Amino acid sequence: MLICKLLLLVLLTVSFSATCIAATPPRVEEAQFGKLKDGTPVKIFTLRNAHGMTAKVMEYGAIITELQALDRQGRATNILLGAKSLEEYLNGFGGSAAVIGRFANRIANAKFTLDGVEYKLAANNGKNHLHGGRAGFASKHWRGQALPAKPGESAVQFTYTSKDGEEGYPGNLDVKVTYTLTDKNEFRIDYEATTDKATPVNLTNHAYFNLAGGGNILDHELRLNADAYTPTDDGLIPTGELADVKGTPLDFTKPTRVGARFDQLPPKLNGYDHNFVIDGGGKSLIQFARLKDPKTGRVMTVSTTEPGVQLYTGNHLKHAGLCLETQHYPDSVNQPKFPSVILRPGEKFQSSTVHTFSAE
């Protein structure tokens, strides 16, 4: 009888352990999200951390489709704008958190001169070039692969080769973008690129954040470590100057309600679409932004190695989300006084942006 009881106890213990293991989801999970119009399958990857945060990223556009973060009650909510199906993205969903390249933001008159050669690009924003052209990196199929697990983090890497002449840019550009979710509630984006011919490179992600998980972002509170910005003409092309934010509606050096000064901005903008110069930016990873939703208590701080950030308040989406696009300044390829965006053979482009989440 004693042997039978011991055997039963062992069986129950093994069964309970197996159930616990089965109930624990993997740190990285891979599935098919859909197919492109030519039949190419598109994978989606789910990253998890130990505290209930999850991130979903897919091969089309290397888009982040979902990012779950906890509020002050410990409840997880998606704080990114996203679509539920691949078809919605393929049909032009206007709020995708895609990788932007080969050159994020605007290039004046859709052209630049490099090493004595003029390159003409697509004029897809009036007379100017925007976000890599008519078919930039946001609409490309990237190859995704989960990376080997490391303690306290989960990661997936996407690769894409932009061919010489694509959208008018010179050189074959090999690009890697790595998304990492850590047990410190960090969501990190690391970019790398190499080329076989001199070319401009300026990569970012166009994620629209809404820390409330719905409604608009007008009551979010934003602080930016940015004492200057790059003034622009009517086409949002920088004049080449750096101007002080003090005394302007662009002063976010103290926590400020995002929608508090919309009435002081040009009416045609319907909000912010400005590049800020990060204090001490462009040298190492530095925290430059703090965004808070007072209702849920969610807080997001952002650090980057980039010298600038484009604040865009989702003006075409009724302010449903807010972008903090870490970048080199717009039109840098035509502005010799701005930090260089030229990548040459033998060099490696590297850039990192880290979003850290908490609640208070």
23 pLDDT tier (thresholds 50, 70, 90): low
Per-residue buried b or exposed e for 237-256, using 16+ beta carbons within 10 Å of the residue's own CB: bbeeeeeebeeeebbbeeeb
Q: Examine the pLDDT at 349 and tell me if it is beyond 70.
A: yes
Per-residue buried b or exposed e for 183-201, using 16+ beta carbons within 10 Å of the residue's own CB: eebbbbbbbbbbbeeebbb
Q: What is the pLDDT of residue 322?
A: 98
Tell me whether the omega of the peptide bond preceding residue 102 falls within 30 degrees of 0, making it cis.
yes
3-state secondary structure (DSSP) of residue 89: helix
26 pLDDT tier (thresholds 50, 70, 90): confident
Per residue in 281-298, pLDDT tens? 998 999 999 999 999 999
| Residues catalogued as catalytic | 206, 325
Q: The pTM is what? A: 0.92
The CB density around residue 14, as the number of other CB atoms within 10 Å, is 10
Q: What is the pLDDT of residue 24?
A: 67
Q: Which residues contact 221 (CB under 8 A, 6 or more apart)?
A: 255, 256, 257, 258, 291, 292, 293, 294
Alpha helices in 56-192 (DSSP H): 86-90
Q: What is the pLDDT of residue 25?
A: 75
149 pLDDT tier (thresholds 50, 70, 90): confident
Q: Examine the pLDDT at 10 and tell me if it is beyond 70.
A: no
How large a percentage of the chain has pLDDT more than 90?
92
Architecture, CATH, for domain 28-359: Distorted Sandwich (2.70)
Average pLDDT over the chain reads 94
For range 312-324, the mean pLDDT: 98
Q: What is the pLDDT of residue 22?
A: 43
Beta-bridge partner residues of 289: 224, 302
User: In the chain, where are the structural domains located?
Assistant: 28-359
